[in-house]
Amino acid sequence: MTIRIYWEIDSAAEPRRAEAALRIAWSEKLRDPRTSRNRRRHYYEQIARAAAGTTFDGLFIRYRPESDDSQILAASLARLVPGLALIPEFPASIGSAVYAAKEAVSFQRATQGRLSWAIAPDRASEERAADGDSVADADLLARAEEFLAVARGVHGQTGFTHHGRFFAVENGGFPPPLNRVPFPPVILQGKDEDHLALSARQADIHLFNATSIAALRVQADRLDALAVVEGRSVAHAVRLAITARETPEEAPESSATTLTGSYDEVADALAAWVEAGVTHLFLAGEPSLEEAYRVGAFVLPKLRARIGAAQAAA
């Protein structure tokens, strides 16, 4: 069983780290060496290098409507970190499913197949309306499923025709060589029955938010049962905020939803998630740059050693 571990980049977090207009002013007696040319993207690049220089498998780039576009950010980082997978999160309201598939094909061709799609959770109707999305709440899952069906259809078929509620295609499809790259693995989210059923039909990976391991087992078992009915299997993933230090005493007090402790304690806790059947770990922390280095350099080697020992003993 291969375990994949990703570090999160949140384009809306820590704006003072790189936005010149939001920086805290230094004392008049101290010269600030940073210039206005030190833009936000430089901070993203630092985080990506931290992940690439340690032991992460990829980057998960959150969708934030108030900040930089996740897909553009993923593309800009792809050449900088050639060994990492790129997982931009975006909503199914992004626009044309056909053009989204075309962008994915180009991304895959340029990066040797390192792209995955993470469909973002739907926002409240008034927030979506501000982006021009007027689809009723009751139709959101149907729209997401049709988006994926059309995107996969034009990628995998020539002469693809579809007339649905949200998308229409007439004799579409990508010719060679565009259709010779893999369609990106699809990551879906949500914990209620309808979201789990959608993942059973359409997802390659289902991303659960942090909860107890016992609660995740209940949701994962239900997902597995639904997937069996569809003749499919769906990998399990969990998103965890973590703070790790060399000793328990050094670890700062965090919120109840943050996994906190020494490097060994955090590695043990992550290993427990893997033992529970999670094969994809989506990790986050603040400050993102420093925590990426700490986790990648000190926690993940311990975690991988524990996983290797457990697999050897099985």
Q: What pLDDT is attached to residue 30?
A: 62
CB atoms within 10 A of CB 117: 24
Please write the tens of the pLDDT for every residue from 135-164: 999 999 999 999 999 999 999 999 999 999
pLDDT of residue 251: 86
Residue 38: its pLDDT value, please?
Answer: 54
Which pLDDT band holds residue 37 (cuts at 50, 70, 90)?
A: low
**pLDDT per residue over 252-268, tens digit each?**
888 778 999 999 999 99
Would you list the DSSP string of 56-116? Answer: --EEEE---TTS--HHHHHHHHHTT-TTSEEEEEE-GGGS-HHHHHHHHHHHHHHHTS-B-
pLDDT number for residue 269: 96
Give the residue among 39, 34, 38, 43 at the shortest CA–CA distance from 13: 43
Band of the pLDDT at 23, cuts 50, 70, 90?
low
What is each CA distance from 23 to 40, 64, 165, 223, 264, in whole angstroms? 12, 21, 47, 45, 35
At residue 290, does pLDDT exceed 60? yes
Could you tell me the pLDDT band of residue 29, with boundaries at 50, 70 and 90? low
Q: What is the pLDDT of residue 15?
A: 76
pLDDT of residue 211: 84
What's the pTM? 0.92
Q: How far is CA 138 from CA 135, 160, 164, 188, 219, in A?
A: 8, 27, 16, 18, 22
Max Cα-Cα span within the chain: 69
How many other β-carbons are positioned within 10 Å of the β-carbon of residue 149?
A: 15
pLDDT of residue 144: 97
- In the chain, the percentage of residues whose pLDDT exceeds 90 is 79
The token pair at 130 is 């501000």
**What integer pLDDT is reported at residue 18 of this predicted model?**
59
Instruction: Give mean pLDDT, residues 175-180.
Output: 90
Task: Please check the confidence at residue 33 and state whether its pLDDT lies above 80.
Answer: no
Contact 262, 248 (CB under 8 A): yes
What is the C-alpha separation between 279 and 281, in angstroms, rounded?
A: 7
pLDDT at 39 over 80: no
Neighbours of 240 (CB within 10 A): 21
Per-residue pLDDT, averaged over 185-203, amounts to 97
Residue 212 above 80 pLDDT? yes
Mean pLDDT, to the nearest integer, of 25-53? 75
Q: Is 36 a residue whose pLDDT tops 80?
A: no
pLDDT of 1 over the 90 cut: no
pLDDT band with cut points at 50, 70 and 90 for residue 239 = very high
Q: What is the mean pLDDT of residues 43-51?
A: 95
Compute the mean pLDDT over every residue in the chain, rounded to the nearest whole number: 92
Average of per-residue pLDDT across 14-34 = 64
Alpha carbon distance 120, 187 (integer Å): 9
For residue 28, pLDDT beyond 70? no
The pairing of strands 280-284 and 258-262 is unpaired
* Mean pLDDT (whole number) for 69-81: 96
> Residue 64 has what pLDDT?
94
